[in-house]
Amino acid sequence: MRRVKGQNTTPELKVRKALTKLGARYRLHRADLPGKPDIVMAGRKLVIFVHGCFWHGHDCTRGARVPKANRDYWLGKVGRNRERDVTHRAALEAKGWRVETIWECDLKDASTLEARLKALLA
pLDDT digits (tens, 9 = 90+) for 17-31: 999 999 999 999 999
pLDDT range class, residue 122, cuts 50, 70, 90 = confident
Beta strands in the chain (DSSP E): 27-28, 39-41, 46-51, 98-103
Q: Give CA separation, 71 vs 7, 53, 65, 67, 82, in Å.
A: 26, 17, 11, 6, 17
Query: What is the CATH superfamily name and number for domain 10-116?
Result: VSR Endonuclease (3.40.960.10)
Using pLDDT thresholds of 50, 70 and 90, give the confidence band for residue 2. low
Closest CA to 10 of 80, 82, 108: 108
Please spell the DSSP secondary structure of 17-41, one letter per residue: HHHHHTT---EE--TTSTT--SEEE
Asked if residue 1 has pLDDT above 90, the reply is: no
Confidence of residue 93 (pLDDT cuts 50, 70, 90): very high
- Assign 7 a pLDDT band (cuts: 50, 70, 90): confident
Listed as own residue / partner, the contacts of 76-79 with beta carbons closer than 8 Å and 24 or more positions apart are 78/54
d(CA 18, CA 113): 8
Q: Of all residues in the chain, what percent carry a pLDDT higher than 70?
A: 98
Angle between helices 10-21 and 110-121 (to 10 degrees): 60
Q: Do 75 and 84 form a contact (C-beta atoms < 8 A)?
A: no
Reported as a single tens digit per residue, the pLDDT across 50-80 is 999 999 999 998 888 889 999 999 999 999 9
pTM reported for the whole predicted model: 0.90
Calculate what percentage of the chain has a pLDDT beyond 90. 88
- Extents of the domains making up the chain: 10-116
